[in-house]
Every structure is written in structure tokens, then in C-alpha cells.
């Protein structure tokens, strides 16, 4: 089965669908409790931070200039997003709606002076 044949038009939903198919095909759903996914998300965020941990602020702006470093950054960003989306799937949370609502609240909370 080609998953791309049947994906919904929404890009995020399509990725969540692919991630769910991927886990189901490997019988990994049993590991994907919200708790485990939140732990894995934190672990991957740490791996992303590791790339930057000894860099000056200025050097941290140049990580995409080196091909190997750029690939590592994209890889860790993908991992963070993967676990975030899988967590949203398991919990029934719409991540884009949650973020839009949060920005609305922050616009109230931090008024522009």
C-alpha cells in the first residue's frame, strides 16, 4: 500500500497518518503511551540542544552553513516533530489549533507597549 495515495489534503494530518502507519506496521503502538512519547520528545529536544550547547550565540546562527551540521539539525527537528505529532494523535490534540489559541492568549498577556 502506498500511503501517499490515501493521505488527507492537510499536511500535518498526512504526516500523522504516515507516522501511525509506520508504528502500526512495526507493532510499536504498544510503546506509544502519552508518557513515553512525552519522554521521547524531551530526549530528542535534548539531542537538538546538544548541537548548540557549546556554541556562542553568534556561532549558533551558522549551523546550517556546514552540510553535516545542517543534516544533523534537520534530523533532530524531524524527531522532535515526529514525537510531538504522535503525542497529539494519541491524545486527540490539534497542535495547530492549540498554538493559535496560545498566541491569542499571549497577545492578551503581553500587550505591545
Among 6, 8, 34, 66, the residue binding its own copies under the rule CB under 8 A is 34
1 binds its own copies (CB under 8 A): no
User: Least separation, in Å, of the C-beta of 29 and its own copies?
Assistant: 12
Q: DSSP of 41-64, one letter per residue?
A: HHHHHHHHHHHHTTS-HHHHTTTT
Neighbours of 80 (CB within 10 A): 18
Q: Does 7 interact with its own copies (rule: CB under 8 A)?
A: no
Give the rounded distance of the alpha carbon of 80 from its chain centre.
Answer: 4
Q: Measured between alpha carbons, how far is 38 from 17 in angstroms, rounded to an integer?
A: 19
Cell of 98: 492549540
Q: What is the per-residue binding string for its own copies in 71-100, x denoting contact by CB under 8 A?
A: --xxx-xxxxxx-xx-xx-xxxx-xx-xxx
Number of Cβ atoms within 10 Å of the Cβ of 16: 19
- Contact residues for its own copies, defined by CB under 8 A: 10-12, 15, 18-19, 22, 25-26, 31, 33-36, 38-43, 45-57, 60-61, 63-64, 73-75, 77-82, 84-85, 87-88, 90-93, 95-96, 98-103, 106-107, 110, 112
Amino acid at each position: 500500500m502506498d500511503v501517499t495515495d490515501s493521505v488527507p489534503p492537510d499536511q500535518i494530518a498526512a504526516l500523522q497518518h504516515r507516522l501511525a502507519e509506520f508504528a502500526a506496521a512495526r507493532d510499536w503502538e504498544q510503546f506509544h503511551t502519552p508518557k513515553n512519547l512525552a519522554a521521547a520528545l524531551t530526549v530528542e529536544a535534548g539531542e537538538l540542544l546538544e548541537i548548540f550547547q557549546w556554541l556562542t550565540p553568534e556561532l549558533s546562527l551558522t549551523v546550517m552553513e556546514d552540510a553535516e551540521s545542517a543534516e544533523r539539525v534537520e534530523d533532530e527537528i524531524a524527531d522532535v516533530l515526529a514525537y510531538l505529532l504522535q503525542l497529539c494523535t494519541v491524545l486527540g490534540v490539534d497542535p495547530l489549533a492549540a498554538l493559535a489559541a496560545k498566541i491569542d492568549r499571549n497577545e492578551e498577556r503581553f500587550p505591545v507597549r
